């Protein structure tokens, strides 16, 4: 899964938050082929868990 998917998802979240529809939003992303290094890097910076091992650690 590439970085464009995460960026598009974040854009959509900002729209929902701006409209006041959602106070708290959680994501669950799955990819059969895995995540690109760019995707994983940005997700890591923003505290988004993308690997099963991340779930065990939290």
For the record, the structure tokens of 22 come out as: 């959602």
Per-residue pLDDT tens over the stretch 35-49: 888 888 888 887 776
- How far apart (Å, rounded) are the C-alpha atoms in residues 35 and 31? 7
Residue 27 is predicted with a pLDDT of 73
- How far apart (Å, rounded) are the C-alpha atoms in residues 5 and 35? 10
What pTM was computed for the model? 0.59
Per-residue pLDDT tens over the stretch 9-21: 888 888 878 777 7
Residues with Cβ within 8 Å of 25's Cβ and at least 6 positions away in sequence, in order, are: 13, 16, 17
Residue with tokens 């701006």: 18
């Amino acid at each position: 899964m590439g970085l464009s998917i995460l960026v598009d998802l974040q854009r959509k979240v900002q729209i929902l938050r701006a409209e006041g529809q959602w106070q708290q939003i959680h994501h669950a992303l799955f990819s059969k082929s895995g995540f690109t290094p760019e995707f994983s890097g940005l997700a890591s910076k923003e505290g988004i868990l993308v690997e099963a091992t991340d779930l065990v650690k939290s």
